[in-house]
Structure 1
Amino acid sequence: MDRRLLPIKLDNYRPLRDIVFENLREAIISGILKPGERLMEIQLAEEMGVSRTPVREAIRKLELEGFVVMVPRKGAYVAGISVKDITDVFELRASLEALAAGLAAQRITEEETEQMERLLVKTASYFDEEKIDELVEVDIDFHDMVYRASRNQRLVQIIGNLREQLRRFRTTSLSHPGRIKEAWEEHSKMVEAIADRNVSLAQTLAWEHIENAENSMLEAMGIVKEKLQS
């Protein structure tokens, strides 16, 4: 049997089912478990070195979060990403990001601005090697900083509910040729607008950034957005 999943590392403070769930979710987000692939409890349990029970519980939870679909009389499959899923999420995200950027332009501290500048430097350090996993994490950190700087906890919570779906999309979008540097340039402009307390520009740049991310993802999937709207 070809092993794709790493054996589970026990954590005395967390239930095994939670660790198995996170392991499987990460495998789906990273593409190790691919859309449309059937999830065989026995095989997954053997790869992770656990019994079938926590795997079964994890699959049920993944279904609730939209990562898995259950097909009657056939079993569990990794959920595909439909164009409707993408457009729905990016429409919502564009509005939330624009709101967060505008609020951040009013409320950000000098320390937070400096932290965002440091994240830009960190992103640039990964350009040549194109370390997608690391770039995704830094991208998450950058946007988290914008959300926190908005000083709107409800907004942070709503974005948090989309977090894992967004991470799945980020990997595809940032993998598209040229997108990494484009995203860095867009982040740089956003930081400048926020630091200058330019609310309207920060909102516009945030909205355009998310639209560009959506377009990159659709292009990576061979889909032209204009055709969807015609």
Structure 2
Amino acid sequence: MITEEQIQALQSEMEGNGENQAQMAYRILEEMIVTLKLPPGSKISEKALNRSLGFGRTPLREALQRLAIEGNVKILPRSGVIVSEIDLSDQLNMIEVRRELEKIIAGRAARLAMEDQRRTFLRLADDFDRAAQQDNGTLFIETDREFNGLCIDTAQNKYLAYAIGPIEAQTRRFWYLHFKRFGDLQRVSTLHAGIARAIAANDEPGARDAADKLIDYVEEYTRKTLHFMGGM
């Protein structure tokens, strides 16, 4: 379970961003689910969450409804709320959609990035390089989270944000379950750095191509995972 200190840190960050209680509850629960602190198949108790997180019933229910729409939990009548299992067989279908969304996001971000955003993308590219050199999964995850948020902000299209959000959550859950065993951190970090540098250069075709190469790799490691897990 997520620690009280981590919860307090998340709440402080979100209050600073002006988020309401339902948004804060959603982000905390999504983080707990994605990082497997609430593992697939586990039952969620609203009363326990109320005690541990300090949110009222209405914000918690709003957060759980949003998580259910995104496929992270299932709300079962008379049975409560259960964290959804990760459907291995559906990963390739999701990747097919993710490929097109990622290319659009990267392309728009490259086209629209202003000078301060371009500087941040260059800094993130350097951080991805450091993660690759140090084989540092924690640094990669932190950098990737900031990178994804900056890409969405820079792309300036709320419909892309709505579409990619649930896919990113499922992608992160798959990562936490399988990447250490089947993935290549140095390669995925380098591929992310390539996208960041293309965006920083306002190179729209280059950014789209770099995003395509990243998803080629994601598909490759997903197929490898499915093969070993008996899914293909």
Q: In structure 2, what is the equivalent of residue 88 of structure 1?
A: 93
Letter in 1 for 2:24: I
The number of equivalent residue pairs is 219
After TM superposition, give the deviation of residue 147 of structure 1 in Å. 5.1
Within 2, Cα distance between the matches of 1:105 and 1:25? 29
* CA shift for structure 1 position 57: 4.2
User: Does residue 32 in structure 1 map to residue 32 in structure 2?
Assistant: no
Gaps of at least 5 residues in structure 1 are none
Q: After superposition, give the CA deviation of every residue in 1:169-217 in whole Å (9 maximum; x if it has no partner).
A: 1364374355321122223444555538472x54333212113124334
The aligned counterpart of 1:47 is 52
| Aligned with residue 163 of structure 2, among 152, 161, 169 | 161
- For structure 2, the 5+ residue unaligned runs are none
Tell whether 2:136 aligns with 1:130.
yes
SS for the counterpart of 1:212 is: helix
**Structure 2 CA distance, aligned partners of 1:104 and 1:23?**
27
Q: How does 1:61-210 map to 2 (within 5 A)?
A: 61-83=66-88, 85-103=90-108, 108=113, 112-127=117-132, 128=134, 130-132=136-138, 134-146=139-151, 153-154=156-157, 157-170=159-172, 172-173=174-175, 175-176=179-180, 179-191=184-196, 195=201, 197=203, 199=205, 201-210=206-215
Shift of 1:82: 1.3
Aligned-residue Cα RMSD (Å) equals 3.7
- Contact 2:124/2:193 (8 A) holds in 1: no
CA distance in 2, matches of 1:130, 1:20: 29
Q: Percent identity?
A: 23
Cα distance in 1, alignment partners of residues 119 and 2 from structure 2: 40
Deviation at 1:54, TM superposition (A): 4.4
- Give a deviation string over 1:97-127, Cα, whole Å, max 9, x none: 2234445555555654443221121233345
2:25 counterpart (20, 28, 39): 20
Task: Report Cα offsets for 1:118-151 as digits up to 9, x if no partner.
Answer: 112123334537243x42231233345455555x
* Structure-2 change in CA distance of 1:107 and 1:27 (3 Å): closer
Task: Pick closer, same or farther for the CA change 1:123–1:203 going to 2, 3 Å.
Answer: closer
Distance 1:114 1:171, change over 3 A: farther
Give the 3-state SS of the residue equivalent to 1:70 in structure 2. Answer: strand
Secondary structure at 2:136 match in 1: coil
TM-score by length of 2: 0.71
Inter-partner Cα distance in structure 1 for 2:108 and 2:55: 46
Distance 1:146 1:23 in 2: 22
- TM-score of the pair, normalised by structure 1: 0.71
